Amino acid sequence: MCSLDVACGIKERYKYMSSEFDLINKWFNWPNTDPTVIKGVGDDAAILSVPEGKQLIVTSDTFISGVHFPHETKPHAIGHKALAVNLSDLAAMGAKPAWFTLALTLPEYNEAWLSAFSLGLKTLAQQHNIQLIGGDTTRGILSITITAMGLLLPEKSLLRSGAKHHDQLYVTGTLGDAAAGLAMLQQPLLTRSEQCIQQLDYPQPRVQHSHIIRDYATSCLDVSDGLLADLQHILTASKVGAVLDLACIPFSKPLQCMDKNTALHFALSGGDDYELLFSIPLDKQKEFEQHMQQQSLICYGIGHIDQYVHGIISRDQQPLTPKGYNHFIGMNH
Ligand code: ADP
Ligand code: MG
């Protein structure tokens, strides 16, 4: 469907419609040899063959210019990140990526922009063997909605609700880099770290980690709104509390060079990390860590679940209050 503004004249509407089909064919009709895709881009809807005995996991994320990424973000990074955040949600559930749709709203037809966006998207899609099977293309403020689908054996899903007393808490990578990167872009007086900006633009979804984590974890989610805010989601769903070991929060080199409180603020309350946060029962901890090591995958222990604690506290009993981002009230300080 071509949903153009009423203000858009009929002549322009038809001019845009013809290029809409060219645009889809040129940039988003990728060769698809995957046998699960019976019909991909090109018909009214896609037809997929869902393997018998598997559950379908579905997630959607919208990405709006100026809200979810700065207007100046390079189109290659936008393509990467729009898919990466969806792959991260699939990983947080333990699912294997299978298919995705792309709803794209563009302010104008811009070949250079589309070429870079499509390449960023395609490169990550190929890395994770996820197939683009359709979507929608409209005109308006730049906005991208991806719906990703993954597959999972029944009983294997990683929920937020299973954390138990004494479980150990882990994250799959350093925290706060993306939030620091965003602060650097917004406040040019801050010393710039390309590593932090790279982390902001090109988060790496922890799909490989998740396939091991799902065999051991009692709960899992991906950290997108800040460690404390997202940990609180696990605690609320699991009806438990947690003790965080602040000395064990993993920091990248650039954050290690910052003032300690600033680095902690980015790590605890910043967003856009896309690391997995999960809980492992004490009696499985050793086997889990060995398994991760065998696969050369890194994770960091950062605390534990305590059913007698209310909310989140530090090792020295200080309450830690979530300050994640909320779209309707902004940063809740
Ligand atoms: P319809 O008018 O039937 O909704 P569209 O013109 O929106 O059809 O889309 C035609 C085909 O192109 C469909 O198969 C749709 O899934 C696909 N498509 C549209 N936009 C995109 C996009 N941005 N990326 C991938 N496929 C797309
Ligand atoms: Mg359509």
| pLDDT at res. 326 | 57
Digit-coded pLDDT (tens) for 265-296? 999 999 999 999 999 999 999 999 999 999 99
pLDDT value of residue 323 = 73
Domains and CATH numbers, the chain: 6-155 (3.30.1330.10), 159-326 (3.90.650.10)
Amino acid at 81: K
pLDDT at 324: 53
At 188 the pLDDT is: 86
Give the distance (Å) from ligand 1 centre to CA of residue 23: 10
Ligand 1 atom index nearest CA of 44: 3
Of 264, 273, 255, nearest in space to 318 by CA: 264
Task: State the Cα–Cα distance between residues 10 and 293, nearest whole angstrom.
Answer: 61
- Burial label for 289, CB within 10 Å (0-12, 13-18, 19+), is middle
The CA 134 to ligand 2 mean position distance, Å, reads: 9
The predicted-structure confidence for 13-46, as pLDDT tens digits, reads as follows 444 555 788 899 999 999 988 999 999 999 999 9
Chain-centroid distance of CA 75 in Å reads: 17
Name residues whose C-beta falls within 8 Å of residue 83's C-beta, 6 or more positions apart in sequence.
100, 121, 124, 125, 130, 146, 148
Residue 293's pLDDT is 98
Q: Whose CA is nearest to atom 24 of ligand 1?
A: 135
This prediction has a pTM of: 0.92
Residue numbers of the chain with a pLDDT score lower than 70: 1-18, 324-333
How high is the pLDDT of residue 328?
61
